[in-house]
Structure 1
Amino acid sequence: MDIKKYQVTPDANVSLADYQTSDPDRISEEQLLKTYIPESVEELKELHWRLHAEEKHGILVVLQAIDAGGKDEAISYIFSNLNAQGLKTISVKKPSEEEQKHDFLWRIHDGLPAKGEVGILNRSYYEDVIAPRIHNLLEEEELPDNQDVWQMRYRQINDFERYLVENGIRVVKFLFNVSKDKQKERLLERIKDPKKNFEFSFSDVEEREHWDEYQDIFADLISNTSTENAPWYVLPADDEWFGRYIVTEVMNDVLRDIDPQYPKLTEEDQDKLDEAIQKLENE
């Protein structure tokens, strides 16, 4: 698979209209479920276990989407296959009163992965360059003198992500690019299905009224924050299984580049291990 097809190059002037919500060249769902996804997930499990064993690098995964974009399902299916010992997940919601007393990146730190972990942000610090713009939520003291607050925050985010990468934490970011028609279909399914309507929030319909604003803001933030250190991938999110496959392949690509290895035993530890084996076998 050519994952570069979905990666946003640095300094690109992005319009989401240029990215398909459904890829006509996608692999069939039958092939995905029988062959491609199982094989890709098996590789991801092995690479993730090696990452956890080596404890030299971590990976921060950022997932962003409009409501019903498919983030939760991607987390449930793909990352549920990974060992929980090397996995960390945090959902970023409306900031609490305590969080509002700090800088906008402060609340993210507890969700950052340690070396040997994959950390998943279901929504992320990017919420602080999205929701406040849609709903005009910034307080007066948060507005800098003679600066564009959003450009300032983009710069701060880029610096933050570069800092993480330089300290051994890779950053990979996915935008689930879903069509307005498909979002409507998924929201109606949530409402009508008794097994799914607990997932529905009335705010989902209210936020849908800001569809065009969200599209413009997503395009703007991706244009300003897809970097060599922390690239964005725009997923054709109408194709649920194909989108999940792209995520696993991107993760595998990142892990192959890291190339984590199982730790090698010292000669002393190997001798102790041999003694333990012999002791157990002689019981």
Structure 2
Amino acid sequence: MKDINTQDFRITDIFDISKAPTTIDMDASEKKVRKAMKKAGRKLGKLQDKMYANNRYSVLVCLQGMDTSGKDSLIREVFRRFNARGVNVFSFKTPTSSELEHDYLWRHYIALPEKGKFAIFNRSHYENVLITRVHPEFILKENLPGITAVEEIPKDLWEERYGQINNFEKHISQNGTLVFKFFLHISKNEQKERLLRRLNKESHNWKFAPSDLDERQFWGDYQKYFEEAISQTSKKHAPWYVIPADNKETARYLVAKTILDELCKYDIKEPAVDEEVLENINSYRIKLKGEK
């Protein structure tokens, strides 16, 4: 299998979505890719155990992508070997009436991971500079001062939000949260095929919603705003990785390998054993074996 440098998917400059591939030749069968994914997943699970005991870092993984890009199944496969106590998954859908009583970042702040844990954001705070760009009328539900109609939305609102998001991510990274942001990049034709599978396979019918077709009509707009958001917010402390996602097995492996490669750069070890315990390990062992 091809040796992959995950830094090749990291955005370090202005992002041009038209030049970003949606496929990659792994020079391996899907079976081999799946095996490599399982191996990376096991290593991640062991590393997470150490991180939980170390209790110094937390990890935030943000997943974004067009409908059908494979976010749900990726979460299931990449993190399935984690201890359940060490990972929480949040799916951010349309804000509730309670959430709309706060600023748009509030519901994401309260979902941030505790030290030693992972949080997975299935969609994230980036929805507030993506779907609201395509459907600016959604902004009106936030009851922002001075904005009662779409025509009143200031032109610099989005630039301000990019700045707020950058500050948010910088703040949490400076306090021990390691931030990973993945854009699962699929082609329009691949999305079409996946939607057709949902319609053609009875067991997958429940996954289909007519709104999927409605949103597909805005494909070009979404591509433009993903490109802009990624360009504006890929920072050293919170980088974006654009993952070719037409093949789900490959995308899962690339995400797992990226997280693993980066976490291995940190000094994450189990806490040192108390000296008294070390000195008396044999006596503790003898005491336990001598129990009747």
CA–CA separation in structure 2 for the residues paired with 1:80 and 1:209: 34
Report the AA paired with residue 8 of structure 2: K
CA–CA separation in structure 2 for the residues paired with 1:38 and 1:83: 15
Partner of 2:19: 18
Q: Secondary structure at the match of 1:60?
A: strand
Matched, 1:170 2:178: yes
Q: What CA RMSD, in Å, does the superposition of the two structures yield over aligned residues?
A: 1.8
Q: 1:60 Cα shift?
A: 0.2
CA–CA separation in structure 2 for the residues paired with 1:157 and 1:269: 46
Partner of 2:60: 60
Matched, 1:279 2:287: yes
Contact 1:48 1:255 in 2 (8 A): no
CA–CA separation in structure 2 for the residues paired with 1:64 and 1:228: 19
CA 169–274 in structure 1, closer or farther in 2 if over 3 Å, else same: farther
CA 24–32 in structure 1, closer or farther in 2 if over 3 Å, else same: closer
Contact 1:26 1:242 in 2 (8 A): no
CA 181–230 in structure 1, closer or farther in 2 if over 3 Å, else same: same
In the TM superposition, what whole-angstrom CA distance separates every residue of 1:85-138 from its partner, at most 9, and x where no partner exists?
110110101011111111110011232111100110000010111111111121
Unaligned runs of 5+ in 2: none
In the TM superposition, what whole-angstrom CA distance separates every residue of 1:53-90 from its partner, at most 9, and x where no partner exists?
11110000000011000111100111112111110110
Matched, 1:2 2:2: no
Map of 1:228-239 to 2, 5 A cutoff?
228-239=236-247
Specify which of 144, 147, 163 is matched with residue 155 of structure 1.
163
Report the AA paired with residue 103 of structure 2: D
CA–CA separation in structure 1 for the residues paired with 2:58 and 2:121: 14
Map of 1:186-197 to 2, 5 A cutoff?
186-197=194-205
Q: 1:42 Cα shift?
A: 2.1
Q: 1:257 Cα shift?
A: 1.6
In the TM superposition, what whole-angstrom CA distance separates every residue of 1:181-207 from its partner, at most 9, and x where no partner exists?
100111111122121111222211111
Contact 1:161 1:171 in 2 (8 A): yes
Specify which of 193, 212, 226 is matched with residue 220 of structure 2.
212
Contact 2:184 2:245 in 1 (8 A): yes
Report the AA paired with residue 80 of structure 2: S
Unaligned runs of 5+ in 1: none
Contact 1:27 1:242 in 2 (8 A): no
Contact 1:89 1:111 in 2 (8 A): no
Contact 1:56 1:168 in 2 (8 A): yes
Q: Secondary structure at the match of 1:111?
A: coil
Contact 1:58 1:113 in 2 (8 A): yes
Q: Secondary structure at the match of 2:11?
A: coil
Report the AA paired with residue 117 of structure 2: E
Partner of 1:118: 118
Q: Secondary structure at the match of 2:121?
A: strand
Report the AA paired with residue 58 of structure 2: G
Contact 1:176 1:235 in 2 (8 A): yes
CA–CA separation in structure 2 for the residues paired with 1:211 and 1:145: 23
CA 174–27 in structure 1, closer or farther in 2 if over 3 Å, else same: farther
Identity of aligned residues (%): 36
In the TM superposition, what whole-angstrom CA distance separates every residue of 1:11-35 from its partner, at most 9, and x where no partner exists?
x22121111001135543132123x
CA 157–213 in structure 1, closer or farther in 2 if over 3 Å, else same: same
In the TM superposition, what whole-angstrom CA distance separates every residue of 1:152-179 from its partner, at most 9, and x where no partner exists?
0000101110111100001000000000
